[in-house]
Structure 1
Amino acid sequence: MTITAGFSQEIIKDEVKTEVKETKRQGNRIKADGVAAVVGDYIVLDSDVNRRIAQIKAAGGDIGDITNCEIFGSILEEKLYAHQAIQDSIVVNELQIRSQIDQQIQGILGQFNGSMTEMLNFYKKDSEDALREEIYEINKNQSLASQMRNKVLEEIEITPEEVRQFYNDLKEEGLPTFGTELQIANIVIIPEVTEASKQVAIDKLAGFKKDVEENGASFTTKVLFYTDDAGSKSTGGKYTLNRKRPRMVKEFRDVAFSLQEGEISEPFESIYGYHIILLEKIRGQEYDVRHILLRPEITPDAIEKARKQIEDIRTRIVDGSVTFAEAAREFSDEEETKFEGGQMTNPTTQDFNFELTKMDPEIYGQIQDLKDGEVSPIIQDGDRENPIKFKIMTVTNRIDDHEADFARDYLKIKRLALQNKHFDALGKWQEETIMSTYIKINGDYRSCDFNGNWLKNK
């Protein structure tokens, strides 16, 4: 069992110690907060279980029937993966990790009715900055643990024969039932960006570059005032790129890796709009950059033209002049779906089927009232690449809930079989790594009935 990490941990490098680390007040009594466990270079405090529970609730999770022993076991697992990740020289993306903290702080504050003082008292921190640093360490070790799991699983594959054997085993135990599934198609029309709008964005970026280079203006300040990249605005447009681990679109990487320290690029285009990049620092394979993104303005005329086009397409489908699939192939601006007649691919299963109870809530809201074959009203939508787009949707097929069938549900069965193989591989890795890692469990937790051999008594 893996449960989202909590907000208390410490790394110990030399001598393993188990004395009391801190105290907390309970009424008029003082309870010692000692070391509940040591896993490699990590310690787990007695208070970590309660903090883990608080974090799960802050994220909207439900503890349900999960016991303290199960939560404690999940903390041990995480420390084991993180410890081994460090031994294997796995590194993390610091900027990406820090970018999560604001949202986490707001979520936790909600548990304390917005009181920063109560939150700091609960986590025994003197300042918000101290809490942020602790959360950073938690995020970092979550990332280490996740990457270590991925490393264990990265070369595991499954053959068709293994899938068939897994299915046969399921038949003996009782085949699962798959819920009602829908196949959905859409046609998307994106307002055209004029050349004049593109040139305005390019000229603005060129002006920013000139102001920084010739007048000493602050690049970071211009990010805060002008960038259209909401994801990096709060960090001054900063990203860390690594030559060995591609991140960002190719155009962005190519420009960033061509710069010298302190150099600002010329304006360039990507699928998101137009950028300039400042290369701040090169650290071996890592490049610290800041960028400004401008999306060319979409004119009212272009928006109205796109709306009229989608209205005309919908009318022609409804009156039978053209089928939905034909219209998608002819007119849709969504490259991922147009050549499949508008059929949308489920990102989880990689087929065309969307299980009703597991469907993305936004997609469900757009098709929930549609009868099979009915064309939706025009929907105005947007995404990171296209702030405005128009679409129509239809349900092309409905598959009622049914017992798993090898031919019809092969991809789902394959996914289940691979998950089962992953589970076995992680169990084997954990068992072996526990035996080769220094682990000590203290106090009442020694009486827990762990899934893993944490007490090394088997």
Structure 2
Amino acid sequence: MKITRYIASVVVLLSLSTTMLGQQGEVVDKIIGKVDDKIILKSELEQAYLQFLSSPNALQFDGDARCFLLKDMVESKVMLAMAEIDSVIIDDARVDYDIQGRAQQIMQRFGSEDAIRQAYGKSLDQIMEELRPDIEQQLLIQQQERDIVADVTVTPNEVRKLYNNIPKDSLPLYSTEYEVGMIVKQPEVDNDEIEQLKKKLLGIRERILKGESFEIMATLNSDGPTSANGGNLGFNQRGTMDPAYEAAALSLKPGEISMPFESSFGVHITQLIEKRGNEYNSRHIILIPKPSQKDVQEAVQYLDSLREQIIAEKITFEEAAKQYSDDESTSVNGGFMSGQFGSLRVPANGLDPELYFEIDKMKEGEISKATTVQVSADDQVARIIYFKKRIAPHRANLNEDYEKLKAATIQMKKSQKRQEYLQDKMKEVYIEVAPEYNRCGIINNQ
């Protein structure tokens, strides 16, 4: 399953690489597989093979990798054919969202539109438009697979049966695990700081209105990761950006620059570049407020007061975390960190080193006093830690590891149902594989 997920993750890269190789005339391609009217090219297999060799999965794999990859490609084409037969539909908004995510990954990889043009001879928008059919097909395949296994459930008896069928000396050995909770408080920046940033942005806005380049001013002044790209955010779907930012951008006419405004990320000015249907293209300059030491100390005092209430049993740790913690990733779990399969137990190597050394000095059941944590070069938060329990190394058992065993049972049933589905549907569709790959036994699997 890990390798299958890996293959799916390189679809866009393969499409890019194959397109460029074809343009340069370096590959004499041929069809090596057919599933109904869908084809598999030799270049696709070879590109997948090269990507596989450079991945960590190659070190764990023992077998004919080309056969494995080709079999997976055939199975994906079967899934695609069945998705079309079953009239599976992917909403355009879902496709647009995925394209946006892929475009951001490409932009992060190359750093700028100019670098992308130099590498591919076309704009990012042109590249994503060419990749759109591949992304749509990938999403169709994923949806078809989800639909196939959507009703898979397991009973406690099935989990117990799986556990009992594993030889005791073959049960997984789990290292030391921890149940650790935290409540985080983000310092609230003084209003004077916000007003100073707005004043600075007003000055920058005036300079732009007088003729200076927005992009140059963004590069020189913006705190955001887009500063290196002149503050450009590219096209975004309505409803995907911070609501305050989107409201400000969409209230403008193309070319207009907003007055300074606040969002959950900082203080901005934005310029609307273009509206296109349900999308809009904009750029911005953001200044991120930096809390003073007084602001940080007030956050520490707030958490120390909350800790006293927890110790006095006026509120439980879990309730306090859900109500007051600024860390969304843990507050939903009552402050507790989550491990594999949704378990609230985290292995030692899954803990941040600083957090690990903190709990190493604590006793089980203890709640620490509030301390500050440096989360970035200019950003501190206050935090209290609840060291609930330490679980010693042990072999898997039903009492302590039920959720992990349940997840393994579900995954096994899903894999089995997927394989049974493929074996059945491969008898219904036309499949042809080039003779040089007969060794792979793909047709024989029917």
Structure 1 residues 248 and 411: alpha-carbon distance in aligned structure 2, compared to 1, 3 A threshold: farther
Residue 379 of structure 1 contacts residue 391 of structure 1 at CA under 8 Å; is this kept in 2?
yes
Question: 1:55 aligns to what?
Answer: 51
Matched, 1:199 2:195: yes
In the alignment, residue 277 of structure 1 is paired with which amino acid?
Answer: T
CA separation in 2, counterparts of 1:353 and 1:132?
Answer: 46
In the alignment, residue 191 of structure 2 is paired with which amino acid?
Answer: E
Question: 2:33 aligns to what?
Answer: 37
- SS of 1:225's equivalent in the other structure is helix
In the alignment, residue 102 of structure 2 is paired with which amino acid?
Answer: I
Matched, 1:69 2:67: yes
Q: CA RMSD, aligned part only? A: 5.2
CA separation in 2, counterparts of 1:35 and 1:421?
Answer: 34
Residue 264 of structure 1 contacts residue 276 of structure 1 at CA under 8 Å; is this kept in 2?
yes
Structure 1 residues 79 and 457: alpha-carbon distance in aligned structure 2, compared to 1, 3 A threshold: closer
CA separation in 2, counterparts of 1:97 and 1:43?
Answer: 24
Show CA shifts across 1:246-299 (max 9, x none): 423343344445555444444332322223333333333233333332211333
- SS of 2:155's equivalent in the other structure is helix
Question: 2:103 aligns to what?
Answer: 98
Show CA shifts across 1:214-248 (max 9, x none): 334443333333332216753743143334xx423
Structure 1 residues 152 and 206: alpha-carbon distance in aligned structure 2, compared to 1, 3 A threshold: farther
- SS of 2:291's equivalent in the other structure is coil
CA separation in 2, counterparts of 1:428 and 1:178?
Answer: 31
In the alignment, residue 441 of structure 2 is paired with which amino acid?
Answer: D
CA separation in 2, counterparts of 1:163 and 1:102?
Answer: 46
More helix by share: 2
Structure 1 residues 235 and 102: alpha-carbon distance in aligned structure 2, compared to 1, 3 A threshold: same
Question: 2:114 aligns to what?
Answer: none
Question: 1:442 aligns to what?
Answer: 434
Question: 2:237 aligns to what?
Answer: 242
Matched, 1:46 2:37: no
Matched, 1:276 2:269: yes
CA separation in 2, counterparts of 1:181 and 1:347?
Answer: 9
Matched, 1:162 2:154: yes
Residue 276 of structure 1 contacts residue 293 of structure 1 at CA under 8 Å; is this kept in 2?
yes
Residue 79 of structure 2 contacts residue 144 of structure 2 at CA under 8 Å; is this kept in 1?
no
- SS of 2:398's equivalent in the other structure is coil
| TM-superposed deviation, 1:132 | 9.7
- SS of 1:277's equivalent in the other structure is strand
| TM-superposed deviation, 1:167 | 1.6
| TM-superposed deviation, 1:197 | 0.9
In the alignment, residue 440 of structure 2 is paired with which amino acid?
Answer: C
Q: How many residues align?
A: 412
Show CA shifts across 1:123-168 (max 9, x none): xxx9732599899699767754553354236666558x73335324
Show CA shifts across 1:8-53 (max 9, x none): 44899xxxxxx9x9557xxxxxxx6543335577654435445334
Structure 1 residues 363 and 38: alpha-carbon distance in aligned structure 2, compared to 1, 3 A threshold: farther
Structure 1 residues 302 and 291: alpha-carbon distance in aligned structure 2, compared to 1, 3 A threshold: same
Residue 23 of structure 1 contacts residue 33 of structure 1 at CA under 8 Å; is this kept in 2?
no
- Structure 2 unaligned spans of 5+: 112-116
The range that moved more, 65-74 or 139-148, is 139-148
1:425-440 equivalence runs, <5 A? 426-427=418-419, 430=422, 440=432
Question: 1:395 aligns to what?
Answer: 387
Residue 180 of structure 2 contacts residue 385 of structure 2 at CA under 8 Å; is this kept in 1?
yes
Which of 275, 279, 284 aligns to 1:286? It is 279
In the alignment, residue 72 of structure 1 is paired with which amino acid?
Answer: L
Question: 2:120 aligns to what?
Answer: 129
- Relative to the length of structure 2, the TM-score reads 0.68
Question: 1:27 aligns to what?
Answer: none
CA separation in 1, counterparts of 2:43 and 2:433?
Answer: 14
CA separation in 1, counterparts of 2:14 and 2:331?
Answer: 51
CA separation in 1, counterparts of 2:332 and 2:17?
Answer: 52
Structure 1 residues 241 and 79: alpha-carbon distance in aligned structure 2, compared to 1, 3 A threshold: farther
CA separation in 1, counterparts of 2:221 and 2:258?
Answer: 17
- SS of 2:60's equivalent in the other structure is coil
Residue 219 of structure 2 contacts residue 231 of structure 2 at CA under 8 Å; is this kept in 1?
yes
- SS of 1:388's equivalent in the other structure is strand
CA separation in 1, counterparts of 2:319 and 2:341?
Answer: 23
Residue 266 of structure 2 contacts residue 289 of structure 2 at CA under 8 Å; is this kept in 1?
yes
- SS of 2:220's equivalent in the other structure is helix
CA separation in 2, counterparts of 1:270 and 1:381?
Answer: 22
- Relative to the length of structure 1, the TM-score reads 0.67
- Structure 1 unaligned spans of 5+: 13-18, 25-31, 107-125
Which of 236, 242, 245 aligns to 1:252? It is 245
